[in-house]
Amino acid sequence: MLQAFSNIFKIPELRQKVLITIGLLAVCRFGAHLPTPGIDGAALAELMRRIEASQGGTIFSLISLFSGGALQQCTLFALGIMPYISASIILQLLQVVFPRLEKIAREGEAGRRKINQYTRYSTVFLAMFQAFFISAALENPERIARVFEGVIIVPNPGILFKITCVITLTTGTLLLMWLGEQISHKGIGNGISLIITIGILSRFPSAVGLSWQLFAPGNVQGKSPFILLLLFLMMVIVIVGIILVTQAQRKIPIQRAQQIRGRRVYQAQNTYMPLRVNYAGVIPVIFASSLLLFPATIATMISDDSFFSFLKVFGTWLAPGQGLYNILYVLLIIFFCYFWTATQFNPIQIADDMKRGGAFVPGIRPGKNTAEYFESIMTRITLAGAVFLAVIAIFPTLMSDRLKIPYLVTQFLGGTGLLIVVGVMLDTMRQVESHLIMRHYEGFMSKARLKGRF
């Protein structure tokens, strides 16, 4: 593997792509430290630390995860790339609801450009909406956390601050979106995914430092070193499990009959159709987290003397770590796994395409029977992938609650962050390996090849 890394810099084209990617990612991290005008960064950092608490508590923690902690200081890239991701997911779901959008998406490269343009417009709208919401919350921090009553984060609140904050944060999101596209076009790997990954990994040193404080030998109130060893072994096991399930496929044998088209004769072929066990990826975890954390966040902003103060009780029940939260979290992940698979995987269209191309599954009649066969197979393997996602997603919360360890440490034992990091690293390594093999260099593995996530 070390030889493969050294071979990267022997290929001029690949070396240029890697250096461009590293340079643009460095720009992303630099922008994550440029403060937004009019904000007391120290007070805001303390506020975010308290509202995240030990379980990672509100919708702000999810945004902070994707921005690499930039939200804690409300820097230029405080919103991260989250508005773009939300807009992309919304556009994909709308393609199922509106046939016109689906027709545009099937128009090849021209349709893809139109969908990308609609996604960019939606990103601007979502970024402005979230930025205005954040600016209003920063002017009244006591609505976010009652323990912060009397603390001033914005010394000069008002319409001017709101305009400045909205313009700054929206511009930062659009700049991140542009940097991600540049990485995808001129660098290596998927730019948006790499930006998210580098943001998540930027919090790893803080987790290591916090772990050192907890498990230091001289710390009287620290944890046992045995727990540290247990956490390390768990992290290794979880990472191996994520890799295996992410790469897992159900191979459906496909046969193609001999065909004569014009003067050409196409010989019969035996191949297979790979169906991924984890077809939906990390999207169900993001959906479930956002849906559950949003009521808890709204509940923290309701004052005790408000007419809707009774809703604070429901917000307490839905706080991370609570029994109701864990149950709903698992059920929502399983539901969104099936929902996303149903919207993206169309067995009827696949069966029709195979029938027109002269391909068939051995022992299954073409057409309707083939579609039903694909649907039954996908239903079964989706259940396995959904249960795995639910276990990995809930694992950090359970460990944090049972071992009394901060969520910043246990989030690297599973959850959304680790799923994204492992998946993106596998995809990037696959692309690098394809460049190496194409130029007759040995890849990362001498006896096996990395398979794509999709």
The structure's pTM equals 0.79
Query: What are 39-82's pLDDT values in tens digits?
Result: 877 777 766 666 554 445 555 666 666 666 666 667 888 888 88
Answer yes or no: is pLDDT of 304 > 50. Answer: yes
Q: Which residues pair with 252 in a beta bridge?
A: 273
Answer yes or no: is pLDDT of 453 > 50. Answer: no
Phi, psi (5° rounding) for residue 136? Answer: -65, -35
Q: Which residue has the higher pLDDT, 274 or 293?
A: 274
CB neighbour list of residue 22: distance below 8 Å, 6 or more residues apart = none
Answer yes or no: is pLDDT of 279 > 70. Answer: yes
Phi, psi (5° rounding) for residue 367? Answer: 95, -130
The pLDDT value given to residue 82: 81
Mean pLDDT of 427-449: 70
Q: Which is nearest to 39 in space by CA: 121, 138, 120?
A: 138
The pLDDT value given to residue 24: 92
Q: Which residue has the higher pLDDT, 118 or 203?
A: 118
The pLDDT value given to residue 383: 92
Q: Which residues pair with 35 in a beta bridge?
A: 75
| Residue 419 CA, distance from chain mean position | 7
User: Which tokens go with 162?
Assistant: 């709101």
HEC letters along 269-314? EEEEEEEECCCCCCHHHHHHHHHHHHHHHHHHCCCCCCCCCCHHHH
338 HSE (CA, 13 A, CB side): 13
What one-letter code names the amino acid at 308? F
Q: 379: pLDDT confidence band, cut at 50, 70 and 90?
A: very high
Query: What are 142-161's pLDDT values in tens digits?
Result: 655 554 556 677 888 889 98
What's the fold here for domain 15-202?
Answer: Preprotein translocase SecY subunit (1.10.3370)
Least confidently predicted of 61-65, 384-388, 405-409: 61-65
Instruction: Give percent of the chain with pLDDT exceeding 90.
Output: 11
φ/ψ region of 158 (left if φ > 0, alpha if ψ in -120 to 50, else beta) reads left
Cα(357)–Cα(448) distance, rounded to whole angstroms? Answer: 31
Mean pLDDT of 129-141: 80
Phi, psi (5° rounding) for residue 255? Answer: -120, 140
Q: 454: pLDDT confidence band, cut at 50, 70 and 90?
A: very low
CB neighbour list of residue 419: distance below 8 Å, 6 or more residues apart = 242, 281, 282, 285, 389, 392, 393
Task: Choose from 84-88, 281-285, 378-382, 414-418 the range with maximum mean pLDDT.
Answer: 378-382
Domain residue spans in the chain? 15-202, 206-413
Cα(55)–Cα(409) distance, rounded to whole angstroms? Answer: 10
For 71, 79, 134, the CA distances from 46, given in Å and listed in that order, are 12, 18, 16
What one-letter code names the amino acid at 293? L
Least confidently predicted of 123-132, 143-152, 413-422, 428-437: 143-152
Q: At what angle do helices 159-186 and 191-201 cross, to 10 degrees?
A: 120
The pLDDT value given to residue 381: 92
85 and 127 in contact (C-beta within 8 Å)? Answer: no
Mean pLDDT of 125-141: 82
Q: Would you state the torsion angle of the CA atoms of residues 380, 384, 385, 390, taken in this order, to the nearest 10 degrees? A: 130
Phi, psi (5° rounding) for residue 442? Answer: -70, 140
Do 15-202 and 206-413 share a fold? yes
| Residue 225 CA, distance from chain mean position | 32
Q: 425: pLDDT confidence band, cut at 50, 70 and 90?
A: confident
Cα(318)–Cα(57) distance, rounded to whole angstroms? Answer: 10
292 and 318 in contact (C-beta within 8 Å)? Answer: yes
187 and 17 in contact (C-beta within 8 Å)? Answer: yes
For the domain spanning 206-413, the CATH number is: 1.10.3370.10
